[in-house]
Structure 1
């Protein structure tokens, strides 16, 4: 919300300077994001009229102007502005003036021609950023009058960073109530009078959108002057609020929106056909908007239409074909109330953000439309002339929000704030904020005005007292109370242990948004069971992430684009899948690229490979103390993994994640190299651990037997280990793989694996027969499940 300081001071008495006002607003929760002084130090700058202009004899782009500054004799000024011409009135900085930015005006010669002053642009005067030409003033501007007096300067442009729960402050009158409460003054806004009805033109209005559009008002104004110029005072207030003056009709609607907070729109009445219909858009319906774009609508959009065509996307933007132009003489002026939920996110869905949508999706006072319509009519008749028709009203009163009284207990107020606020001060605060105050035995009953959507419960009222009374006046106390200590179960690792382990292995933790773009998810082939957002922050953040990897890969790519060749990142977070309610799964993801080790002299550099990431996974699994419950398999891989350099991770036979290199096609689509490896798995299985159980040192020796088998290349070590352990049970203490061979002597497509079986019994010494029987059982199990052959 951006506005002129002078405008605010006109609406409410402020017994404080600019710095104190800004501080008070910020401390009251209305953060001043930017404060720009305007028109400081304009002494010596006056209103002047160009009465003559000739081409400079030595420069094509300069003119020698004769300027009437009200001193009797015209002054000679050399000017290079493209819009300098006879008859316009402009600001003149006379000799001796000092402009903002340290520009001192002196008599000078420009290309041999004397110049006694400078004709100024808005930027040179420090009141706007427009440096395209001279600041043109109204034709009735009094020559010789100090410019500061004429433009009501100095002033300041103040921009507030409002929270979404304060839409009432998106209008100067609403903001004025807060300022009045802060400074103990009163709002000076006169009661709005109804315009004189001199015309009889009418048009029917039909409401067909139910509770989404419960109130719609309109009025036909005939015979306006389309060439009427916006008054300087109104145009300047728009400029200082960040809006460019366009035409009288548009400027008036913008002005009323800034003043009251109610967006308005004007249609060319001669282009409308039949009744005005407020309805939901039909699926696939399109409408060309004021900015020339084509809006593709669905049933979720509200549409303002006539009997034949759509006219405007309600609460967002008007249509192109029904717009007011330089030839418009009759307008239909609308003022409506739309439910915030019906407008929320619609502008972003069209890839835009408008002043109207910004207000409607936060909530506009349902009682404002009539007042705003009368105020706009008053201004339009004064500026553009014409005849106002009767106010046309269509409303469903049962669908309009109704004020509800909220109880505030005196004891509760003191307990929460930690300070006792006098009853008279509490009543003053709420009264100044435009609320109705009713005294009760234990406190008050407060009825908020229809503009305050945020007042729903007692805590909201306490917050109002705190911010107006002053947070700096509330003492700081140590909170009292007993805290119950939560003891983590021993059978579950804490997430912090996972973070510490990964950090110790050289990874950095990343934190990404839980929202991603639909286009990015499609690249990964993860388009199933997506959870779309009804009100996304932007089109690029439209769905909840189904995986942590897309966001982590974006972070990796960002780092590599900044000369970070060796990147190691991990993230712990939730992923989402469609359901009722949506499924949320805590997950862990890792991405890595570059060399396997940091640059050093003790080891030759080599690129990261699958087994490096597998080693990091094994280190995490080892913390749980049950590595035998985990296994990796080469089958069932998702489409985003390299088919020959990826694996499926399972715990107790259930798939919990995947690891390996990215699929080459995906890596190319994401503009990545072939060395990017990833891991993602559900977090909960990783956090389970076996409780320590002390065992006596074995009294009987262990026995080792080595065997070598050849198996198909497609058989993984996990399958072999699982088969051996299943066949030998408790007798097998450890299984060691100590050799792998393929080549001469081994069939093509097969490999030779040599392993050591460490056997032990806690109750007796194993005999040779026992060991031989274990070897036979292991070989038999491998022959059945792994197509193994015992090598001699």
Structure 2
């Protein structure tokens, strides 16, 4: 939200600099994103009088100007515009001036002619997006004056980020009230405008059937207006505040909203049919919004309608058919208080953000509903003529948030803040609208109607902290009971050390993404009020989030992606819900790029399997990867469950190609996931002295059935080899000539070693015999 400095000064006589005001705002809890200085941006641009205009001798579209700027000598300026003449007054950027667009004016030659400055258009001064030529100033503009001061450009514009609880400060009036109270300066509040009532103008007929969501609604007819553009001062003010001028009536309503905080809407009275009603929408009811969207409303949405259609989504946006246009002569003004929660829910449902919704969902000042109506009416009649009728009033604004009182003890507040609360701070809060009464340690505070966010003692603590200043509150650690140090979880750190990039994705995913890797068993946890359909359920797998992240990286020309995430998954249970702590990996694309010594290589199943193996080894654990073609979402033949001891701790495999296509990934994608809560305690690493005696290495070749699993073969060898076996691996695979159909020849190499003696032939023969017997018994494998 942007607030020009001059707007604040209409409510309070501020003498501090914009920088000091920005510091005060931050101390009062209002985040200042930036302070723009429009007048400083055109410093050095002065009012110039063109005393001579001649054609450029070497360029048909250029002119040679003599321009007086109040100095001893006139400036020679080469200009490309054509809309000026002798006697005109124009803005002149002198040498050394830095214009808003970044252009620095220097003395130079243009087609051989010296130019000592530049005559400016609105675009070059940052006042408009386009222009037809130079900005021609009024004839009474003083020659030599600073253009920024003459045009009354804003001294400063504060770009503020207002917290969701401070709806009362979404306008210049609310910000000025805080500043005035803090500085002890008088606050000039809005005075109700006097509006002459024309009995010939009918009062709109209004009914409210959704009083809980719309406790106050006012409507007034204004007939016979001559709609035109709003005056230049108003358009300039709106532009400074970050809003685009639309038409006279809309500009007035926006101006009142930005200065006083009350959003309003105007309907073309001639386009309305019958009476106005504020009610809940029916399911599927049509609404044609001003932004061009055609919506089908949900049952319960709060709407404003006439006898034939919905004319506004209450507190958010009006309809296109009922909107004010250039030919409008009769209007109906709307001013209301809508329940913040209802506006917020509806706005999120349709992803429809407006200036009005941002204020209504934070909570507007109920007492401004009527005052803003009067102010807008007076401005419209003053600028565009017309006659106003009586206001149709439904509800009582004074009853909203009335007589809210907070009782607490001063000692409790002081204990929470860590400082004594002086009596003088009560005076500041009183100027902010609170009524305070101290009786010993007891404090009674009556909250103003516009501060709906203050209802408990903790809220008062925050108010006192704002007044005292957060910097004045001492930084002290609270007393903590001594506890045993928590064990550091290095799960994700070890995964990152293995070459993966840590990511953190949302715990909310779409129901469709959930079904990719988890069957529909009715155990999903659906959000009651999701931000969007893409974030409607709590995740039961981390893989969809990793796939979305991989997609974004690949779309940004990353040749390969290796990601890891540690997070929680959520499932409904008899206890309400269960959470599991999981670690997930993803690999896709290149793992090695083109080099002079070799070509690029894409990730495969064994790259990820090796990473998981290495991660388990750091914990003193070993995993067995058992093929499992039933894992949902993974490709049959390239998927396995991960067994750690007797526990199925995780899954690994290649994402089904059709599923990868849904994420626009055409390269093979490999994923793994381990439930950290199921892992057993690993063996502690122990130092083993290097063996002083040599080992014995032997090779055996067997004929196995083609379906035998390599993990099972090696596990059987380790079990049969006894204590002397230190290593076993498959070093050769052959299935060519001489190997029977359905069989495969595997070469097994194993190593025997004893740290206390040299092994004998008998030791080697005994181990070989035990392995041969185990292969025959377990797999029916014959020794070749």
TM-score, normalisation: structure 1: 0.78
Aligned-pair CA distance for 1:206 = 2.6
Q: Which stretch shifts more, 742-751 or 583-592? A: 742-751
Cα-to-partner distance string for 1:718-753 (whole Å, 9 max, x where unaligned): 56689999x99x999999564674525555445466
TM-aligned CA deviation for residue 241 of structure 1: 0.4
What's the CA shift for 1:421?
3.2
Question: Is the Cα contact below 8 Å between 1:659 and 1:679 reproduced in 2?
Answer: yes
Give, in angstroms, the shift of residue 601 of structure 1. Answer: 10
Q: Distance in 2 between matches of 1:319 and 1:55?
A: 54
- Which deviates the most, 543-552 or 39-48? 39-48
CA 1:558–1:271 in structure 2 vs 1: closer, same or farther (change >3 Å)? closer
Q: 1:486 offset after TM fit, Å?
A: 3.6
Q: Which SS does the other structure have where 1:39 is aligned? A: helix
The match for 1:292 is 292
Does the residue aligned with 2:202 lie in a helix, a strand or coil? coil
8 Å Cα contact 2:3-2:158 kept in structure 1:
yes
Unaligned 5+ runs, structure 2: 70-74, 687-696, 753-762
**Cα distance in 2 for residues equivalent to 1:595 and 1:85:** 63
**Superposed, which structure 2 residues align to 1:448-459 within 5 Å?**
448-459=447-458
Which residue is equivalent to 2:567? 573
Contact between 2:281 and 2:302, CA under 8 Å: does it hold in 1?
Answer: yes
- SS of residue in 1 equivalent to 2:235: helix
Paired residues of 2:278 and 2:305 also in contact (CA < 8 A) = yes
Q: 1:707-727 CA deviation, whole Å, 9 max, x = no partner? A: 9876654453456689999x9
* C-alpha distance in 1 between matches for 2:104 and 2:555: 48
Q: CA RMSD in A?
A: 5.1
8 Å CA contact 1:631–1:651 kept in 2: the answer is: no
Change (3 A) 1:346 1:692: same
Counterpart-to-counterpart distance in 2, 1:511 and 1:203: 55
Aligned to 1:483, what secondary structure does the other structure show?
Answer: coil
Give the aligned partner of residue 101 of structure 1. 99
For structure 1, the residue ranges without an aligned partner over 5 or more in a row are: 70-74, 695-703, 760-765
Instruction: Please say if residues 44 and 94 of structure 2, whose CA atoms lie closer than 8 Å, have aligned partners that are also in contact.
Output: no
Separation of aligned partners in 2, 1:180 and 1:272: 44
Distance 1:750 1:268, change over 3 A: farther
**3-state SS, counterpart of residue 160 of structure 1:** strand
Please list the CA deviations of residues 195-229 of structure 1 after superposition, one character each: whole Å capped at 9, or x if unmatched. Answer: 332234123223233523332221111122223x4
Question: How do 1:391-790 residues align onto structure 2 when only pairs under 5 Å count?
Answer: 391-395=391-395, 400-402=400-402, 404-423=404-423, 425-474=424-473, 476-488=474-486, 494-496=488-490, 498-515=491-508, 544-559=538-553, 565=559, 567-576=561-570, 584-593=579-588, 607-622=602-617, 625=620, 627=622, 631-639=625-633, 641-650=634-643, 656-672=649-665, 674-686=667-679, 688-689=680-681, 712-717=705-710, 738=730, 741=733, 743=735, 744=737, 746-751=739-744, 782=778
* CA deviation vs aligned residue, 1:76-102 (integer Å, no higher than 9, x gap): 9998669x599xx99733798996639
Q: Is the 8 A contact 2:196 2:388 kept in 1?
A: yes
| 389-398 vs 460-469, which moves further | 389-398
Cross-structure match for 1:353: 353
Q: Residue 332 of structure 1: CA displacement?
A: 0.9
What's the offset of the Cα at 1:520? 6.9
**Contact 2:621/2:644 (<8 A) preserved:** no
Change (3 A) 1:6 1:433: same
Partners in 2 of 1:307 and 1:555 — Cα distance? Answer: 50
CA-CA distance at 1:324 after TM superposition: 0.6
**Matches of 2:196 and 2:67 in 1, distance apart?**
44
549-558 or 4-13, larger mean C-alpha shift: 549-558
Residues 54 and 522 of structure 1, relative CA distance in 2, 3 Å threshold: farther
Which residue of the partner structure matches residue 281 of structure 2?
281
Q: How far has the Cα of 1:25 moved from its partner?
A: 1.1
- Judging changes above 3 Å, is the alpha-carbon distance between structure 1 residues 135 and 654 closer, same or farther for their aligned structure 2 residues? farther
Once the two structures are overlaid, the 10-residue window that deviates more, 663-672 or 498-507, is 663-672
Q: Structure 1 stretch 559-568 or stretch 500-509: which is displaced more? A: 559-568
The answer as to whether partners of 1:572 and 1:588 remain within 8 angstroms in 2 is yes
1:266 Cα deviation from its structure 2 partner: 0.4
* Partners of 1:12 and 1:563 in 2: CA distance: 55
**CA–CA distance in 1 between the matches of 2:467 and 2:769?**
87
1:308 aligns with 2:308: yes
